Structure 1
């Protein structure tokens, strides 16, 4: 590789220790990967249960899913949505009925790594000869080709087209995201297929890795070559699942090299549009394939990093960075002008050979400062530098919140017929249990997902309305979901029992919930809208670090949701939330505001509100007042209530029942201050004033 100076070993070990401290270790990498895989499983369940077959499978890709990022790098969240209604075939023998079939065309006019898509007939493996849709164009040979600009038709508010991606900018508390829509290939195209059969001169990638890669899908994504005159009708081949397999095979030293490359480029070059993270990953793949695996070890990380940067510099010099799987595809083709190339080479010349002093200038995750502390170059530790345990807790708590939010996303499927929905959930659970070891870890979560679906209780609402009873079948469905989290499902059960007139049973359920609800640990989780978490409890961070995803049902409290069909399962005070919007308010709703059609409340305020109502019914005034005081206390002190305005509306109605009309009005005004539109507080204020005057 290089002649290795003696001090490289010392730098390598301390550099590796710093990376350990900021979460680049096997523990956090595996947690990040597992979170991403659970996330994509549940997103796929949500999409299929929602009947969105056009994008039937979701894949989380990129740095977040690979575990090749840190808190400070703030890597985008990358998602690939596979359009399962479509299929790209290599020849007519692969034509598939009941799908939109596209024949892949690759010839001397298509750049390497790209193709064109010819539309075939829906009822036979024959070319379509006539199409007037603007998303298609007819070439000189009469073939009807699909334009990649079709992706533009699905751009939503807040998104913009960047290559094949629909990009959303980062917001307070939320990462930037890239979503790619892709068409699956029936089989691997010829150019990437050649890589599968290529004999490696080194031990990486192994034959087993290639066998697994062969089992993954290839895609085409909607973007043309920068160097092409026909970019609008070109589609790029994507082997992203095979590449994810390669990243999953990397050892921790190789991952550390990759992350350091990204940090160095972001610090000293800062031109992501010219040298992307994907290029860094590709360079790393080539370096690993060209050197013995024995060199990729912790004590040699500094030398390995130098080699990666040296290889990247050669790619820049020659304007040639071949895709690792589709070798003919040059990732740098048409990427930058001669002037930009010269600027990049001048910057790289200051970095190669890369020395330890340059590392001290990296501010991402305070890496430079942490390294100086390791070398005793500075004594005073900056106040915002997190200790390793603190860093781990922050990262793992974020990952657990992410999973919890995806579970809540599934609940937004809508109020559907249980008989239709249940078989889909069971089928998906069976599918994931039959998968590989990663798929089997996903299936652990599908039981919770099933419970969320089964928690739809519209038939209970009907029974309560007719005869104030709950059917045994409804109770079985509800009980199946009791362990989805600490409180929300049990609160739905308590709400049903209260509305059915079973006050003693309700009091017992609520008492059990209160015993289990450890306020110093449990975090309320809401995904009805882009709610920014303000503060994370130390107890939550600690337990999420110790136990991971399995802690979800013990330290998370989802908000409690009731659909309009469940109106009779809700006390009348909460029913007002189902009618929060006037005709004028409806004009001020945004995308994803359909949750406002139901009644949604955070678990802990609803617990105390139900206790207040129940103890009033049971004529236990002392406990009733305690519940009222707790309701007011939690609204004031709990940082992360997603529906604080609803809790204030409930508190206000309790105050009215206490004949404390001034306090009630104060609650409603505070609620209206939090959410000016689509808020039932407007109705409460009018009623409260009318009652006060009368």
Structure 2
């Protein structure tokens, strides 16, 4: 590669520039990794405290590696390790009192897979009794664990993709590919050959291999489709080691992988779905890097590197042989292709390789082909950072959503009997974790985010008790509220303003609301809601730009995001009576129509911006400031119409309808309630409001 033709160098540099423009650059790769790892920490801590167990959550795949783009739209892959079993590879690792599983890797098991033999808890001996349907006794008397224990039978809503669940069955996770498995501290026997291949100067280095080994491995619940013991086999996963290797790649190597996935999506998946996976492309890339010198991978050789990877992929398909990078005995392409499929793929790859880069002009993903052509012809002026800004906005938005996920799961678990005790107990656990993890930046930061939210709810719950007993809000309540005041630009302050309003301290409520309005930049701030899974539109350009420029995205969340405002039933006295109806939105006949994750319907939940305008309307009404009151109700109506990303627009309409009633505009109020029902036909307080309103209109004397 020392003598590079001018054409190849020119195309490589232009291709590198285009990939830079669509977000495949060092800045964006680092940003993706940082935020995805922060989300991983958030999810782990949330699940550990929720389940009271040693659950760990790992984010795997393209998103955390930084090897995706807006157009590729890669899945979020999450691996949950379950704590109820300890996987060992040697009898000396047996631990009394635990359910130990001995990993069996012998000639009877498919390469890359293992069996899990159940051992006794009281002695390092094999178990003899089959205790439940997930255990199986084989011909030689070993009691083995079936892989079906980590996945239920598929139904209309759950479709298995290998070991993954395409629907989140773990609270707080919607639409993610979730894999359940067990962690094994020891490196698998089948991978030790890879460890022993120590060649000086070759990638990965010996130190990198040792680091991979120290990470251990996973076993996940899926067997080889060609094995007679498919339900007994468990796939050995070295995902953490693979993630670490991907983190070590330079930007040209990452761009090469992104291009391979774009080629796969454009030329192969459309004709031969489920034939070549992105994991195969990743494996080919790692083999390619291993067989070359590192300085061969740079911007002016990108096209050469891409063709080299595609050639290796071509040869793998010809020979039906693609060895797993770490467990080479595991052939990823064994019995993978039919004769027809194989020929189609080979023809496509041959065309791309022989085109010397011109085939890339046909790629529509992220407008890659058009952008390459534009570098030669200058058809339009392209803003270089536009795609990076968009990706940054999505990342920061996802981080805010993840914080909301964790908090919602905890709150749903608490909106039951004795919720204040549960709130304070959970808050204490998080505070202890912050204290004990002083040196772990990610863990401390993640805990702090959740502590702020829980502090706000704890303070509000105490205030609700004070209000009910006709006492002033206690000092402890205000201290707790203050801890969570700046979790974002509005929601915490809105709860405090709501408390002051409900205690009759209208002037202080008005001061807080004015401060919120001054800091709520409508061009930038985005509404955050993760009570349920709903499709959002694109974030605002100003929001995206700030996210791209930021190096501390967590601090940025406090000024450019606004989460929905939530009141548990134990906080009922802290929200106006107009909002309290939302806690009882479901008549008995509607409850069966709730979704699996609709526990939020037992709370009063409203988006921050409409609640700001609603509280302004109420405070200005008390202060007899007619012009400001009319401006507030006008702003409330306007934001409901113009803001597409509200998660609780039906609640905002219900609040607007009650404001209209107070303005004696009954027809407008009825229209609001009917619009609310169009958004959510069941489990909606609008039904109650309509019945009440119609009754009062027919019997005005009862008003």
Q: Is TM (by shorter chain) over 0.5?
A: yes
| Aligned length, in residue pairs | 680
8 Å contact from structure 1 (residues 220, 237) kept in 2: yes
Deviations, residues 319-348 of structure 1 (Å, cap 9, x unaligned): 221111112211112322344334333333
8 Å contact from structure 1 (residues 261, 305) kept in 2: yes
The residue that corresponds to 2:685 in the other structure is 680
Q: Distance in 2 between matches of 1:644 and 1:426?
A: 34
Per the TM alignment, residue 8 of structure 1 is displaced from its structure 2 partner at its CA by: 0.9
Q: Mapping of 1:34-433 within 5 angstroms?
A: 34-51=34-51, 53=53, 56-97=55-96, 99-153=98-152, 158-168=157-167, 177-270=176-269, 271=272, 273-376=274-377, 380-381=379-380, 387-412=383-408, 413-414=410-411, 415=414, 416=419, 417-429=422-434, 433=438
The residue that corresponds to 1:620 in the other structure is 625
8 Å contact from structure 2 (residues 390, 541) kept in 1: no
Change (3 A) 1:431 1:201: farther
Tell me the C-alpha RMSD between the 2 structures: 2.2
Per the TM alignment, residue 35 of structure 1 is displaced from its structure 2 partner at its CA by: 1.8
Q: Secondary structure at the match of 1:467?
A: coil
State whether structure 2 residue 675 is matched by structure 1 residue 670: yes
Change (3 A) 1:140 1:245: same
Q: Distance in 1 between matches of 2:201 and 2:312?
A: 17
The residue that corresponds to 2:10 in the other structure is 10
Q: Distance in 1 between matches of 2:153 and 2:220?
A: 14
Q: Distance in 1 between matches of 2:484 and 2:336?
A: 52
Q: Distance in 1 between matches of 2:245 and 2:126?
A: 37
Deviations, residues 75-118 of structure 1 (Å, cap 9, x unaligned): 11111111122221112221234543211111111122110001
Q: Distance in 1 between matches of 2:530 and 2:694?
A: 34
Q: Distance in 2 between matches of 1:518 and 1:302?
A: 45
Unaligned runs of 5+ in 2: none
8 Å contact from structure 1 (residues 155, 166) kept in 2: no
State whether structure 2 residue 535 is matched by structure 1 residue 532: yes
8 Å contact from structure 1 (residues 649, 671) kept in 2: yes
Q: Distance in 2 between matches of 1:69 and 1:429?
A: 33
Match of 2:523 among 490, 501, 520: 520
Change (3 A) 1:529 1:154: farther
Q: Distance in 2 between matches of 1:642 and 1:400?
A: 18
Q: Distance in 2 between matches of 1:254 and 1:427?
A: 42
8 Å contact from structure 1 (residues 2, 303) kept in 2: no
8 Å contact from structure 2 (residues 219, 234) kept in 1: yes
Q: Distance in 1 between matches of 2:236 and 2:517?
A: 54
Per the TM alignment, residue 226 of structure 1 is displaced from its structure 2 partner at its CA by: 3.1
Per the TM alignment, residue 19 of structure 1 is displaced from its structure 2 partner at its CA by: 0.7
Unaligned runs of 5+ in 1: none
Match of 2:501 among 498, 502, 508: 498
8 Å contact from structure 2 (residues 437, 443) kept in 1: yes
The residue that corresponds to 1:475 in the other structure is 478
Match of 1:488 among 475, 480, 491: 491
Q: Distance in 2 between matches of 1:282 and 1:523?
A: 39
8 Å contact from structure 1 (residues 148, 234) kept in 2: yes
Per the TM alignment, residue 389 of structure 1 is displaced from its structure 2 partner at its CA by: 2.3
Change (3 A) 1:431 1:160: farther
Q: Distance in 2 between matches of 1:693 and 1:575?
A: 25
8 Å contact from structure 2 (residues 105, 190) kept in 1: no
Change (3 A) 1:241 1:154: farther
Change (3 A) 1:350 1:23: same
Q: Secondary structure at the match of 1:479?
A: helix
Q: Distance in 2 between matches of 1:153 and 1:124?
A: 31
State whether structure 2 residue 657 is matched by structure 1 residue 652: yes
Per the TM alignment, residue 653 of structure 1 is displaced from its structure 2 partner at its CA by: 1.1
Deviations, residues 286-310 of structure 1 (Å, cap 9, x unaligned): 1111111110111111111111111
Per the TM alignment, residue 684 of structure 1 is displaced from its structure 2 partner at its CA by: 0.7
390-399 or 248-257, which moves further after superposition? 390-399
Q: Distance in 1 between matches of 2:344 and 2:639?
A: 57
Q: Distance in 2 between matches of 1:284 and 1:401?
A: 31
Q: Secondary structure at the match of 1:118?
A: strand
Q: Mapping of 1:537-576 within 5 angstroms?
A: 537-547=540-550, 549=553, 550-576=555-581
Match of 1:582 among 587, 591, 608: 587
TM-score normalized by structure 1?
0.93
The residue that corresponds to 2:603 in the other structure is 598
TM-score normalized by structure 2?
0.92
Per the TM alignment, residue 642 of structure 1 is displaced from its structure 2 partner at its CA by: 1.4
Per the TM alignment, residue 202 of structure 1 is displaced from its structure 2 partner at its CA by: 3.6
Q: Distance in 2 between matches of 1:373 and 1:637?
A: 35
Deviations, residues 603-656 of structure 1 (Å, cap 9, x unaligned): 111111112222223333333333222222222222222111111111111121
Q: Distance in 2 between matches of 1:552 and 1:262?
A: 32
Q: Distance in 2 between matches of 1:241 and 1:613?
A: 54
Q: Distance in 2 between matches of 1:303 and 1:432?
A: 47
411-420 or 315-324, which moves further after superposition? 411-420
Per the TM alignment, residue 52 of structure 1 is displaced from its structure 2 partner at its CA by: 5.8
8 Å contact from structure 2 (residues 534, 647) kept in 1: yes
Per the TM alignment, residue 535 of structure 1 is displaced from its structure 2 partner at its CA by: 4.2
